[in-house]
Amino acid sequence: MKLEDWLDIRELVLMSVGTDKGRWWADSDFGSELWVLRQTGKVSGETAGDVRRMVLESLQWLKDDGLASKIECSARQVGKNRIEYTVTVTKPDGSETLIKEAWNAA
């Protein structure tokens, strides 16, 4: 049985982005560094780009392990402390999954 048989790609994305990098005992490289941004408690003009970069970094393993052939992310500030981001994951069979989420600084 393969990993993709156990979990939906959406679940893998949410787990990867939502887990603080370095905080999971089984794999210190798993997760995102969004928690670092949250420590600042504020959103600046560069924050959407930082969120996009950190989301893509946290999902790189999906490509490395052959679960995705392409991963795209866009992010935009929608409030004083909120960034909305959209992730599109293309699987090796060409099917796409679209995931819309938000990150809050506070």
Q: Specify the CATH number for the domain of residue 63.
A: 3.10.450.40
pLDDT in tens, 64-94: 999 999 999 999 999 888 999 999 999 999 9
- 13 — pLDDT class (breaks 50, 70, 90): very high
- With a CB cutoff of 8 Å and minimum separation 6, the contacts of 15 are none
Q: Reduced to 3 states, what is the DSSP secondary structure of residue 46? A: coil
> What was the pLDDT predicted at 28?
65
* pLDDT value at 1 more than 50: no
> What was the pLDDT predicted at 7?
66
Beta strands across the sheet bearing 70-79:
70-79, 82-90, 96-104
Q: What stretch of H or E contains 106?
A: none
**Which range marks the domain in which residue 64 is found?**
3-104
Buried b (16+ CB within 10 A) or exposed e, 53-85: ebbbbbbeebbeeebbeebebebeeeeeeebbb
pLDDT in tens, 28-41: 677 888 888 888 77
Question: Within 13 A of 33's CA, how many CA atoms are on the CB side?
Answer: 11
Name the residue among 66, 36, 61, 65 with its Cα closest to residue 51.
36
Domain count, the chain: 1
